[in-house]
Copies of this chain bind each other. A is one copy, B any other.
Amino acid sequence: MQSQFYTLTDYPKGLPNRTLFKLETQPLPDLAEGEVRIRNRWLSVDPYMRGRMSGIRTYVDPFELGKPMEGGAIGEIIETNDSSLKVGDKVSHMGGWRDIAQLPAQGVTPLPDIDVPEQAYLGVLGMPGMTAWTGLNLIAECKPSDNVLVSAASGAVGSLAVQLAKAKGCHVVGIAGAAHKLAWLESLGVEPVSYRDRTAQELSDAIKLASPNGIDVYYENVGGTCLEAALSQLNEGARIAVCGMIDSYNAKEPAPGPSNLSQLVVRKAKMQGFIVADHWSSYPYFLNEVAPQVAEGKLVYKETVKEGLENTPDAFLSLFDGGNTGKMLVKL
């Protein structure tokens, strides 16, 4: 059996180019003891993958040039050499960016028996959802009385962070760009604020209008102007959960940071970066709290779906120009 997969041909500087991604085909070796073969149905593309294209080890190893790329995926077992998984089982795993994955069974997780679409385990009930929940609860220690600000608020992580904060009873402000994203946020009961064509000072003023009592929790996905604007509106004892800084991921030259970091002292604020993988032991708590809300339709989530393995690079690249509302997925 053949597997089609993407490899990276070089480590890009700045915004990756479509030509860096090469679709290759290879016959799969015979199934070894303990391995399974999976037909992928959904692939995940996520901003953090840009970090694996730098050639430098950060919190995860870089993609190896010329080797199959990896990423979250949902598929169905089509062949098995492990007693824990049988043909037909639906599973999540990290053998994405390809059509057929062959992996040791221990790296493969059967989907829980909850009445949600299977691709939800790549989004609202998967890594992005767990990331939103972890940042809000475990890092920012969000309480019902908090005023919460979320950047990239209509993205896969941000759109869940705003809803989880709303469900707690917080006053929530969401930063986004496009009009339809702002309208969607408003429909969720979130105060929408546009970053478009605004300086940090102007964005800060807009945040103040949307949250006159200041900001207690800032869920940070962007960096740059958003961070500078947020720092100026912090309340005493504010907590900033730094999930990512997509603004800088494709920067060719280091861009200067916010000029007002001393607000951390003035407001006695905490700013903490985190990686969701470190908190995976809490996944059952997350699932227990959030899965019923998803099954009952109380937690709204959007997906932007591209069809076909050949569109995986484009799906990934469009993450950096605002091309997605909610989770970006590739359907095979």
A residues with CB within 8 A of B: 51, 58-59, 223, 227, 236, 242-245, 248, 254-275, 278
Contact = CB atoms under 8 A, between A and B. Distances in A.
A3 B303 CA distance: 72
Top 5 nearest A-B pairs by Cβ distance? A256-B256, A257-B257, A254-B259, A264-B273, A265-B273
Given A255-B259, A256-B257, A271 B266 contact: no
Contacts of A248: 259, 262
Contact of A261 (B51, B245, B260, B274): B245
A259 B260 contact: no
B278 A265 contact: no
A139 to B, nearest CB: 9
Contacts of A266: 51, 58-59, 273
A51 B259 CA distance: 16
Contacts of A223: 261-262
A270 B271 CA distance: 6
A263 B275 CA distance: 12
Contacts of A273: 262-270
A240 to B, nearest CB: 9
State the oligomeric state as a number of copies: 2
A266 B273 CA distance: 7
A11 to B, nearest CB: 16
A265 to B, nearest CB: 4
B257 A265 contact: no
Contacts of A227: 261
22 contacts: A51-B266, A59-B266, A59-B267, A59-B268, A242-B261, A244-B262, A248-B259, A248-B262, A254-B260, A255-B259, A256-B259, A257-B259, A258-B261, A265-B274, A265-B275, A266-B273, A268-B278, A269-B272, A270-B270, A270-B271, A271-B272, A272-B272
Given A245-B265, A254-B259, 5 more contacts: A59-B267, A59-B268, A227-B261, A265-B275, A269-B273
A243 B261 contact: no
B259 A243 contact: no
Nearest to A260: B254
A262 B51 CA distance: 11
A219 to B, nearest CB: 13
A227 B262 CA distance: 11
Given A223-B261, A262-B223, A262-B245, A272 B275 contact: no
A58 B260 CA distance: 13
A280 B256 CA distance: 36
Contacts of A257: 256-261
